Amino acid sequence: MKNILIATLATTTLLMSASLKDEARNAGLLPIPNNKAELMKLIDNPRNPITDAKAELGKKLYFDPRLSKSGLISCNFCHNLGEGGDDGVEAAVGHKWTANPNHVNSPTVYNAVFNDIQFWDGRAKDLEEQAQGPMLAHPEMAATSEHVEKVVKSMPEYEAEFKAAYGKDVKITFALIADTIGLYERILVTPSAYDDFLNGDKNALNAKEKEGLKTFIDAGCVTCHTGYGLGGAMNMFNITGTYKHMDVGGFKGDKNGMVRVPTLRNITQTAPYFHNGKIWSLSEAIKEMGKIQLGANLSDKDVASIEVFLKALEGRKPEVIYPMLPASTEKTPRPDMN
Among 55, 89, 175, 296, binds a copy of itself (CB under 8 A): 89
Cβ atoms within 10 A of the Cβ of 257, count?
13
Contact 121, 276 (CB under 8 A): no
CA-to-CA distance for 313 and 54, rounded, in angstroms?
Answer: 29
Least Å distance, CB 223 to a copy of itself, is 27
Q: Which of residues 303-322 bind a copy of itself (CB under 8 A)?
A: 317, 319-322
User: What would you report as the CA-atom Rg of the chain, rounded to the nearest whole angstrom?
Assistant: 22
Is 289 annotated among the ligand-binding residues? yes
Interface mask toward a copy of itself for 258-287; x: CB under 8 A: ----------xx-x--------xx------
Q: Which of residues 27-86 bind a copy of itself (CB under 8 A)?
A: 63-66, 70-72, 77, 80-84
Nearer to a copy of itself, 49 or 82 (CB): 82
Length of the chain: 338
On whether 245 is known to bind a ligand per the annotation, the reply is no
Calpha distance 40→186 (Å, rounded): 9
* Rounded-to-integer distance, Cα 126 and Cα 175, Å: 13
Question: How many angstroms separate the CA atoms of 196 and 303, rounded?
Answer: 23
In terms of Cα–Cα distance, which of 60, 75, 64, 63 is closest to 140? 75
103 among the known binding-site residues?
A: no
Beta bridge partners of 279: 273
225 is in an annotated binding site: yes
Q: Please tell me which residue in 90, 140, 149, 161 is annotated as part of the active site.
A: 140
Nearest distance, CB of residue 313 and a copy of itself, angstroms: 12
Active site residue 83: no
Element (H, E) at 94: strand 93-94
Q: Does 249 bind a copy of itself (CB under 8 A)?
A: no
Which residue among 42, 55, 88, 153 contacts a copy of itself (CB under 8 A)? Answer: 88
Q: Which residues contact 301 (CB under 8 A, 6 or more apart)?
A: none
Q: State in angstroms the smallest separation of the CB of 193 from a copy of itself.
A: 16
With beta carbons less than 8 A apart as the criterion, state whether 338 and 138 touch. Answer: no
- Write out the residues near a copy of itself by the rule CB under 8 A: 63-66, 70-72, 77, 80-84, 87-90, 93, 96-97, 99, 268-269, 271, 280-281, 317, 319-325, 327-328, 330, 334-335, 337
Annotated binding site for heme c: 75, 78-79, 95, 221, 224-225, 289
Annotated binding site: 75, 78-79, 95, 221, 224-225, 289
The residues annotated with a catalytic role in the active site are 140
